């Protein structure tokens, strides 16, 4: 299985980013319901910044290292679909935190990384075109990212339990 697995760095980044994205999707979707109970937005923002940094590292890692080959049983259409899904996931793994950073930069509260240090704000004001684009994208992008994550998980489970090929094991 050696050549058919992602290397340890790629696997570590994949699972760390996956957990953080799931946490942020949950806090992003539930923050209104949790308002007054627990302040999730400072953690949501810090996790988002972490996703941004780790996703950029993962993209750099991916550009320097070749992914293992897909099983020969996969059709060209399936491989193309996998490439498109992965590309869209990469775009959203970077664009979602960037749009959140844009929105947070226009806010009155400092942008902090888990209270350890302040993250610099961008020169954005509420009501500006950049803020409005970031705000609109963040809402739509969150639902889109959720759909892509569910599709990614469904595809991995299909490969594991229906096709019984080695696709999921490549990332374990």
The CA distance from 28 to 100, in Å, is 11
Alpha helices in 65-128 (DSSP H): 76-105
The CA distance from 97 to 101, in Å, is 6
The CA distance from 123 to 2, in Å, is 47
- Average pLDDT (73-78) is 94
The whole-model pTM stands at 0.92
pLDDT for the residue numbered 38: 85
Query: Do residues 70 and 81 touch, judged by C-beta distance below 8 A?
Result: no
pLDDT above 70 for 157: yes
pLDDT above 80 for 2: no
Percent of the chain with pLDDT over 90: 87
- Average pLDDT (21-31) is 95
- Of 170, 161, 163, 171, the C-alpha closest to 73 is 163
Quick one: pLDDT band at residue 120, thresholds 50, 70, 90?
very high
The residue that leads in pLDDT, 3 or 168, is 168
pLDDT for the residue numbered 1: 42
Count of Cβ atoms closer than 10 Å to residue 62 Cβ: 16
pLDDT above 90 for 159: yes
The CA distance from 160 to 169, in Å, is 8
Query: Do residues 101 and 48 touch, judged by C-beta distance below 8 A?
Result: yes
The CA distance from 104 to 121, in Å, is 8
CATH dotted code for 2-171 = 1.20.950.20
pLDDT for the residue numbered 45: 97
Q: What is the largest CA-CA distance in the chain?
A: 54
Quick one: pLDDT band at residue 60, thresholds 50, 70, 90?
very high
pLDDT for the residue numbered 8: 94
pLDDT above 80 for 3: no
pLDDT-wise least confident of 2-11, 84-93, 114-123? 2-11
pLDDT for the residue numbered 77: 97
């Amino acid at each position: 299985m050696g050549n058919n697995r992602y290397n340890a760095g790629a696997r570590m980044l994949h699972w760390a980013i996956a957990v953080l994205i799931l946490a942020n999707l949950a806090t992003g979707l539930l923050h209104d319901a949790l308002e007054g109970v627990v302040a999730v937005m400072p953690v949501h923002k810090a996790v988002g910044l972490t996703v941004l940094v780790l996703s950029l590292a993962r993209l750099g890692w991916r550009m320097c290292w070749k992914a293992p080959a897909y099983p020969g049983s996969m059709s060209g259409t399936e491989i193309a679909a996998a490439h498109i899904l992965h590309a869209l996931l990469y775009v959203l793994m970077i664009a979602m935190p960037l749009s959140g950073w844009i929105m947070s930069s226009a806010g009155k509260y400092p942008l902090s990384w888990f209270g350890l240090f302040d993250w610099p704000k961008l020169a954005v004001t509420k009501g500006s075109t950049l803020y409005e684009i970031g705000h609109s994208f963040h809402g739509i992008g969150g639902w889109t990212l959720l759909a892509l994550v569910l599709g990614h998980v469904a595809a991995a489970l299909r490969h594991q339990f229906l096709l019984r090929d080695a696709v999921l094991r490549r990332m374990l």
